[in-house]
């Protein structure tokens, strides 16, 4: 063992300094020569003669050195270095080939690495919390009514936290925005409204001060706030003495008790939240804490170690049943569900990401096929070189090893270029990416991603290198030598392999093109959908009223009345209204309702509609048509009889074959839950949930009768957005200089932002499909033009024997045709299988859409035809004299 180690140590040393090894041996041989010469002189020879005789006695020194080197070095390692050097030399000698191959590979590796960095950040990386696998999101669900997952009421949450034995800790949270004043310009801060346990559930300590303690959550506790590091640095100058000082939120004073590190982000992972306050202190949700019926608190729990998912579900079922029995009015029909927090956060981007990952994988596969084809081409022209090597005694494995070293070097060069591309790609991706995706800020090319890229390039090199290497090593020695290298026909096996690769590229490109085509069609259908209103030329702005100063609904109504009066008297701004909530951009509010005179509903069924509170001119501003009855007007105020408008869908669903006008319905948003309203009109349907979701039942109420603590102002005007926004700001601040106006935007942009994710993935897939198309076209071009160049001789003979130019064109073009047809035949079933994976990403388009399939097949055939036509034309122009002399 020791001897073995010593031998290897000496071999390694020798490998690392081969020159020193040679020198030492040379010295030794020199000494020998000297001694031999001395001896010869002693025997009476002249010094020159003695030296010459000595050299003869010793024999060939070079062979000795060779033996010495061979035995002392690390043969495998040295062969590897030799191969690598040789590979570099070969690549330098063929700059065109090298550039095309490296570029192709770089595109494939770069795209894969960039997408993988997104997949890694979003799907693979653990969430940035301690033991994130223990964290669960707990929902309430009402399966019979189709409610899959909603939040909790605080009262139910309190029972759950009290009764369960499976969670070590649980916390509830909600978010909204509060107005921060007293520090420069009034600003709106993202606020998480939480139960005090939130930080301990996530196992996160503040960097300054203390987290919330249980007492902070009790009624009557002093108002406290925890800042985020970002806010602390941005607005408080990272002042450590900030602890104990106070800030104003919605005009109420809060004492700062702690600062959380920037790494802690919950529940919105994309932007750092700005501050946290205890639930009990929140002007809105705080007042809902004693109401059991609501579903608004998001609950996160940390599972005790060793508790299985099945145990957890069993325990939650038992607690759900107990709650339903104890409080049947609110809890009957409700059950408790949970999912791992991670699944909740990344759930809806997962399938789109996997589709993209699959797509770039295909792009790389096509790139590999392309390079394999190039290598096969080259291997054919190198057949003679390889035959000579074999004849000189290189074994088959030695040849394969040398060729593989070449492809490995090629692969790594491509990989390096690809990594450079990936850096650019990630930058581009994160800039273009919708910012509401989870973990967007964690996307980067880090070591793990780099490792992936290197592994990928090594795998790719093997993929495209193995086939040519094996073919080369298998080639028939005698025929290769006799053929005189590269001229006449190549082996049919190899040609078949090349054709198969080219056809395969077409098939793979087809899969991508069909997927991209389907997504594109789906997206254009989505964009063509009429939302039921016209967002063009509508400017919107968000105004949020501080609820401590504006505590009463009458104040909210008065504020909006005042604001609208001012706005409508401005030139060009007659069409102004307020709305809560905005269609699509805001969440929708789904409320249950009763119809006066209808029998009560049987258990487990419900009547619900989406609720919107608007000022009278809203329908004119948004151009939502009135279908029957009347719209709201200035007389519908809080003192007058309560009225309501319903959407066409609501009339159809709940008043079939009846005239809804004059019917009375009972519903309301807190505080007037039991209000009875008369239906005075029917308006057109609006897609208020999402562009891709059919309009459902909606009911509108006059803002004056159902005001809110804030509203979105919408103004239709031919003036520029900037001047409209300026006017809104000015008018708001004339009423109250401390009110911030936020979220000013064109309504159209806001709607477009809701489809940013499908748009982004459509764009990416389209990009990849375009890459695939170009690569496949290069593949066809390569195969056909290579075959033309090899057949120059044959073509020349054919022409000389009288074949017409057109016949030659047809002959060469026929090859393209066969390749393309084979590719399409392979491609159609693969594309169909692939597009079924798109599944729910498609909107109003079937995965088997024949039009898309046909269009893609046509495009591919056309591109292939062009790619094949260029070499075919060259074949047509072959001059028989030149071709025959070519040999």
Q: Which is nearer to another protein, 68 or 540 (CB)?
A: 68
Q: Can you tell me the distance from the alpha carbon of 854 to that of 860, in angstroms, rounded to the nearest whole number?
A: 10
CB nearer to another protein: give 24 or 326: 24
Query: Minimum distance from CB of 17 to another protein (Å)?
Result: 17
Instruction: Give the shortest CB-53-to-another protein separation in angstroms.
Output: 11
**63 binds another protein per the rule CB under 8 A:** yes
- Nearest approach, Cβ of 55 to another protein (angstroms)? 10
What secondary structure letter does DSSP report for 304? Answer: P
Stretch that binds another protein, among 66-74, 208-216, 313-321, 822-830 (CB under 8 A): 66-74
Using DSSP, state whether 45 is helix, strand or coil.
coil
Token digits for 14? 């020798």
Q: Which is nearer to another protein, 56 or 219 (CB)?
A: 56
With beta carbons less than 8 A apart as the criterion, state whether 269 and 242 touch. Answer: no
Q: Quick one: 64 or 339, whose CB is closer to another protein?
A: 64
Residue span binding another protein (CB under 8 A) among the ranges 67-75, 154-162, 441-449, 785-793:
67-75
Q: In angstroms, what CA-CA distances link 445 with 106, 118, 442? A: 15, 9, 10
Closer Cβ to another protein, 50 or 651, answer by number: 50
Contacts of another protein in 201-230 (CB under 8 A)? none
Q: Which residues contact 748 (CB under 8 A, 6 or more apart)?
A: 535, 536, 538
Provide the strand spans (E) within 593-696.
594-595, 608-614, 626-629, 643-647, 664-666, 676-683
The nearest distance, CB 61 to another protein, in angstroms, is 7
Q: Which segment (68-76, 474-482, 611-619, 674-682) binds another protein by CB under 8 A?
A: 68-76
Residue 763 CA to residue 770 CA, distance in Å, equals 10
Nearer Cβ to another protein (3/219): 3
Question: Which residues between 1 and 60 bind another protein (CB under 8 A)?
Answer: 3, 6-7, 25, 27-29, 31-32, 34-36, 38-39, 57-60
When the beta carbons of 36 and 539 are compared against another protein, the nearer one is: 36
CB 543 within 8 A of CB 710: yes
Question: At closest approach, how far in Å is the CB of 448 from another protein?
Answer: 43
Q: Tell me whether strands 676-683 and 643-647 are parallel, antiparallel or unpaired.
A: parallel
Please state the closest distance from residue 57 (CB atom) to another protein, in A: 5
Closest approach of another protein to the CB of residue 411, in Å: 35
Instruction: Identify which of residues 31 and 455 has a Cβ nearer to another protein in the complex.
Output: 31
Q: Rounded to the nearest whole angstrom, what is the least distance from the CB of residue 78 to another protein in the complex?
A: 15
Task: Tell me which residue of 674, 681, 673 sits closest to 699, measured CA to CA.
Answer: 681
Q: What is the CA radius of gyration of the chain?
A: 38
Query: Taking CB under 8 A as the rule, does residue 597 contact another protein?
Result: no
Query: Which lies closer to another protein via its Cβ, residue 69 or residue 291?
Result: 69
CB of 34 to another protein, least distance (A): 6
Interface residue with another protein among 8, 23, 47, 67 (CB under 8 A) is 67
Find the binder of another protein among 15, 40, 68, 373 (CB under 8 A). 68
Alpha-carbon distance of 266 to 192, in angstroms, equals 8
Residue 39 or 483 having the CB closest to another protein: 39
200 binds another protein (CB under 8 A): no
Among 71, 263, 314, 862, binds another protein (CB under 8 A): 71
Contacts with 860 (C-beta within 8 Å, 6 or more apart), sequence order: 506, 509, 510, 513, 773, 776, 820, 823, 824, 827
The string of DSSP letters for 549-573 reads: TS-SHHHHHHHHHHHHHHHHHSTT-
- The overall longest dimension of the chain from CA atoms, in Å, is 141
Q: How far is the CB of 9 from another protein (least distance, A)?
A: 11
Least distance to another protein, CB of residue 70, Å: 9
- Are 521 and 528 spatial neighbours (Cβ–Cβ below 8 Å)? no
Q: Which residues lie closer than 8 Å to 78 by C-beta, 6 or more apart?
A: 15
Cβ proximity to another protein, 72 vs 265, nearer residue:
72
Only one of the segments 61-69, 149-157, 331-339, 851-859 lies at the binding site for another protein (rule: CB under 8 A); that segment is 61-69
By the 10 Å C-beta count (0-12 exposed, 13-18 middle, 19+ buried), 694 is classed as exposed
CB closer to another protein, 28 vs 326: 28
**Which positions from 87 to 106 touch another protein by CB under 8 A, shown as an x/- string?**
--------------------
The answer to whether 850 touches 531, Cβ cutoff 8 Å, is: no
In this structure, what is the dihedral angle of CA atoms 314, 320, 326, 327, given to the nearest 10 degrees?
180
Helix (H) or strand (E) holding 779: helix 756-790
Query: 111: which 2 tokens?
Result: 């795209």
CB of 808 to another protein, least distance (A): 56
Please report how close the Cβ of residue 27 comes to another protein at its closest, in angstroms.
7
Pick 60 or 674: Cβ nearer another protein: 60
CB 280 within 8 A of CB 219: yes
Round to whole Å and give the CA distance between 367 and 778: 10
CB closer to another protein, 68 vs 377: 68
Residues that contact another protein, how many (by CB under 8 A): 25
Distances (CA, A) of 738 to 11, 183, 540, 708: 80, 11, 20, 18
Q: What is the C-alpha to C-alpha distance for residues 818 and 310, in angstroms, rounded to an integer? A: 57
- Minimal distance, residue 394 CB to another protein, in Å: 18
Residue ranges in contact with another protein by CB under 8 A? 3, 6-7, 25, 27-29, 31-32, 34-36, 38-39, 57-61, 63-64, 67-68, 71-72
């Amino acid at each position: 063992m020791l001897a073995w180690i010593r031998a290897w140590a000496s071999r390694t040393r020798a490998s690392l300094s081969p020159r020193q090894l040679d020198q030492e041996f040379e010295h030794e041989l020199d000494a020998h020569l000297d001694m031999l010469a001395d001896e010869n002189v002693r025997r009476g020879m002249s010094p020159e003669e003695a030296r010459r005789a000595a050299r003869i006695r010793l024999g060939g020194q070079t062979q000795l050195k060779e033996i010495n080197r061979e035995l002392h070095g690390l043969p495998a390692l040295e062969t590897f270095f030799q191969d690598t050097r040789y590979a570099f030399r070969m690549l330098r000698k063929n700059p065109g080939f090298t550039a095309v191959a490296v570029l192709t590979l770089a595109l494939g590796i770069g795209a894969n690495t960039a997408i993988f960095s997104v997949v890694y950040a979003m799907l693979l990386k653990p969430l940035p919390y301690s033991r994130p696998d223990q964290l669960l999101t707990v929902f309430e669900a009402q399966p019979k009514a189709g409610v899959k997952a909603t939040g909790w009421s605080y009262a139910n949450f309190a029972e759950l936290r009290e009764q369960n034995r499976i969670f070590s800790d649980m916390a509830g949270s909600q978010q909204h925005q509060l107005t921060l004043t007293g520090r420069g310009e009034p600003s709106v801060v993202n606020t998480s409204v939480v139960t005090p346990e939130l930080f301990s559930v996530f196992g996160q300590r503040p960097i300054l001060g203390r987290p919330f303690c249980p007492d902070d959550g009790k009624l009557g506790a002093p108002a406290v706030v925890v800042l985020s590091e970002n806010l602390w640095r941005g607005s408080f100058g990272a002042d450590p003495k900030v602890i104990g000082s106070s800030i104003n939120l919605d005009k109420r004073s809060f004492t700062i008790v702690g600062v959380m590190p920037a790494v802690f982000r919950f529940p919105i992972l994309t932007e750092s939240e700005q501050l946290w306050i205890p639930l009990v202190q929140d002007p809105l949700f705080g007042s809902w804490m004693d109401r059991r019926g609501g579903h608004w608190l998001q609950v996160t729990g940390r599972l005790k170690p060793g508790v299985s998912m099945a145990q957890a579900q069993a325990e939650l079922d038992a607690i759900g049943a107990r709650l339903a029995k104890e409080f049947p009015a609110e809890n009957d029909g409700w059950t408790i569900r949970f999912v791992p927090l991670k699944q909740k956060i990344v759930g809806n981007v997962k399938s789109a990401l996997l589709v993209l990952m699959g797509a770039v994988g295909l792009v790389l596969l096509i790139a590999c096929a392309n390079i394999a084809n190039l290598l096969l081409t080259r291997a054919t022209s190198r057949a003679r070189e390889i035959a000579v090597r074999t004849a000189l005694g290189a074994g088959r494995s030695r040849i394969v090893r040398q060729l593989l070293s070449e492809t490995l070097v090629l692969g790594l060069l491509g990989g390096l270029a690809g990594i450079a591309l990936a850096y650019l790609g990630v930058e581009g991706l994160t800039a273009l990416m919708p910012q509401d995706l989870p973990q967007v800020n964690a996307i980067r090319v880090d070591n793990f991603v780099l490792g992936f890229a290197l592994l990928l390039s090594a795998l790719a090199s093997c993929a495209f290198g193995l086939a040519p290497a094996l073919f080369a090593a298998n080639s028939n020695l005698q025929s290769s030598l006799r053929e005189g290298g590269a001229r006449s026909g190549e082996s049919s096996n190899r040609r078949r392999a090349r054709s198969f690769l080219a056809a395969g590229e077409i098939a793979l490109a087809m899969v991508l093109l069909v997927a991209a085509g389907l997504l594109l069609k789906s997206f254009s259908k989505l964009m063509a959908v009429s939302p039921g209103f016209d967002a063009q030329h509508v400017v919107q702005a968000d105004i949020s009223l501080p609820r401590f100063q504006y505590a009463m609904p009458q104040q909210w109504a008065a504020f909006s009345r005042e604001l609208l009066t001012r706005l409508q008297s401005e030139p060009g701004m007659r069409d102004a209204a307020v709305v809560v909530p905005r269609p699509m951009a805001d969440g929708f509010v789904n409320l249950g309702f009763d119809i006066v005179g209808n029998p009560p509903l049987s258990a487990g069924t419900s009547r619900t509609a989406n609720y919107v509170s608007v000022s009278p001119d809203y329908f004119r501003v948004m151009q939502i048509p009135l279908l029957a009855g009347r719209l709201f007007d200035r007389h519908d105020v809080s003192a007058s009889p309560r009225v309501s408008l319903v959407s066409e869908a609501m009339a159809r669903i709940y008043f079939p074959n009846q005239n809804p006008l004059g019917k009375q319905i009972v519903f309301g948003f807190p505080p007037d839950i039991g209000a009875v309203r008369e239906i005075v009109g029917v308006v057109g349907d609006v897609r208020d949930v999402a562009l891709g979701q059919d309009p459902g039942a909606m009911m509108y109420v006059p803002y004056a009768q159902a005001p809110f603590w804030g509203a979105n102002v919408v103004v239709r005007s031919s003036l520029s957005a900037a001047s409209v926004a300026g006017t809104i700001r000015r008018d708001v601040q004339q009423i109250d200089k401390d009110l911030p106006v936020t979220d000013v935007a064109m309504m159209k942009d806001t709607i477009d932002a809701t489809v940013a994710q499908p748009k982004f993935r459509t764009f990416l897939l389209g990009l990849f499909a375009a890459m695939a198309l170009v690569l496949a076209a290069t593949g066809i071009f390569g195969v056909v033009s290579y075959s033309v160049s090899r057949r120059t001789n044959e073509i020349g003979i054919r022409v000389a024997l009288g074949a017409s130019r057109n016949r030659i064109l047809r002959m060469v073009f026929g090859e393209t045709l066969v390749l393309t047809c084979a590719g399409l035949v392979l491609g159609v079933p693969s594309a169909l299988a692939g597009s079924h994976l798109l599944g729910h990403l498609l909107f109003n388009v079937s995965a088997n859409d024949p039009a898309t399939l046909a269009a893609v097949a046509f495009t591919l055939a056309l591109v292939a035809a062009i790619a094949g036509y260029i070499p075919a034309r060259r074949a047509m122009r072959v001059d028989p004299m030149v071709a025959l002399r070519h040999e």
